[in-house]
Structure 1
């Protein structure tokens, strides 16, 4: 089953005037996983609408999700570790975000949480003067979150999914100009209904193809 939760405001001239730069972040260790298949199709759909696509595949790039003591201390100095400078540049250049992830142990994978901890850091995603938090990612206007689940929707609702609040409530506080925020959940993948999955993938790609 595919569940779509969306929040849309009227499209502005800024969204429709020119193709966007889309940052696609994905995190699954298996190349042939549904997350991997979705990423491949999403890239094709984005390119078909003439968007620039930047892919951060956290597993393929051997991303280190652990914040070191030295790195934590650098938050106050503004220094960005060399191994994440490219990821930071990709984030700062984006006008659109797509996150593709599985839910494991009732939440996003640790590698993705580490991405947010390290890349969405002070003086990149926000500024904080000790009293007030000021968002800095002002160019991002659209976010799409695509989540895969082995469990059914009923089982997931019963056990909880921590990624919902993060992407629907918490992360948007750092995106002050976000105009379109959508989430798509693929449930009951353990049942292996490939025909249903294919139908849902088609619907999802139609949504992504919208400028």
Structure 2
């Protein structure tokens, strides 16, 4: 069984999709990164709006098309993501769905070069394979109201469990914060960010457990 080097630091890639740099979602990304770094892990943030990421899939980026090739910006993004152990998608729920920016990132980057056959047979070799997926979302509506509309479970199935299976990922979990509107009470913000920190530390502990099991010396035959 292969072992990771002793100096190995688990890496968390936080993908943030919100147009306002001072948004609650931005605070969530910061809180998550602060918590994992305190655990000795590495964290990178890909703020899609700040980066000016182009979410539009090009014809030549579709596998199976004539002249298929990835665009330079996609290749560069994949180079940044390689080696990440956890992918955290942080975004608001708009009209029951992720922002177009986040969907475009899945189309162009996370799902780069993946065919429908690979999705069905779970054979896609991407930066996500064998890794953890975490969805941290927010909404203006309450979580209870969204549950009444079956929205949360729909999103969980579509943008969580589906990606888990389609890309052969190790695990998926989510965390949602409702009623995140303008003028939030600071105590409410602090309480929610504390939950983010708790979840981040729990994920770090799970990674440490996985690593310990992976490095365990097998018993003698």
Normalised-by-shorter TM-score class: 0.7 to 0.9
Q: How many angstroms does 1:145 deviate by?
A: 1.2
Q: Which residue of 2 aligns with 1:112?
A: 102
Q: How many angstroms does 1:93 deviate by?
A: 2.2
Q: Does 1:203 align with 2:195?
A: yes
Out of 75, 78, 92, the position equivalent to 1:102 is 92
Q: What is the TM-score of this pair, normalised by structure 1?
A: 0.79
CA distance in structure 2 between the partners assigned to 1:172 and 1:150 by the alignment = 26
Q: How many angstroms does 1:72 deviate by?
A: 3.1
Q: How many angstroms does 1:156 deviate by?
A: 1.4
Unaligned runs of 5+ in 2: 205-221
Q: Which residue of 1 aligns with 2:141?
A: 151
- Provide the aligned length of Structure 1 versus Structure 2: 196
Matches within 5 A, 1:42-191: 42-72=32-62, 79-123=69-113, 128=117, 132-137=121-126, 140-159=130-149, 160-161=151-152, 162-178=154-170, 180-190=171-181
Q: What is the TM-score of this pair, normalised by structure 2?
A: 0.75
CA distance in structure 2 between the partners assigned to 1:127 and 1:93 by the alignment = 25
Give 3-state SS (helix, strand or coil) of 1:45's partner: helix
1:33-62 C-alpha deviation (Å, 9 max, x unpaired): 000111112111121122222221110100
Q: Is the helix fraction higher in 1 or 2?
A: 2
- When the two chains are superposed, the root-mean-square deviation of aligned CA atoms in Å is 2.9
Contact 2:133 2:164 in 1 (8 A): no
Contact 1:56 1:87 in 2 (8 A): no
Any runs of at least 4 consecutive aligned residues in structure 1 with deviations exceeding 6 A, and if so which?
none
Give 3-state SS (helix, strand or coil) of 2:49's partner: coil
Contact 1:135 1:173 in 2 (8 A): no
Higher RCO by CA contacts (8 Å cutoff, separation 6 or greater) = 1
| Pair 1:141–1:155, CA change in 2 (3 A) | same
| Pair 1:48–1:126, CA change in 2 (3 A) | farther
Give 3-state SS (helix, strand or coil) of 1:70's partner: helix
1:153-177 C-alpha deviation (Å, 9 max, x unpaired): 2321234245321233201013435
CA distance in structure 2 between the partners assigned to 1:150 and 1:187 by the alignment = 6
Q: Is the strand fraction higher in 1 or 2?
A: 1
Unaligned runs of 5+ in 1: 1-12
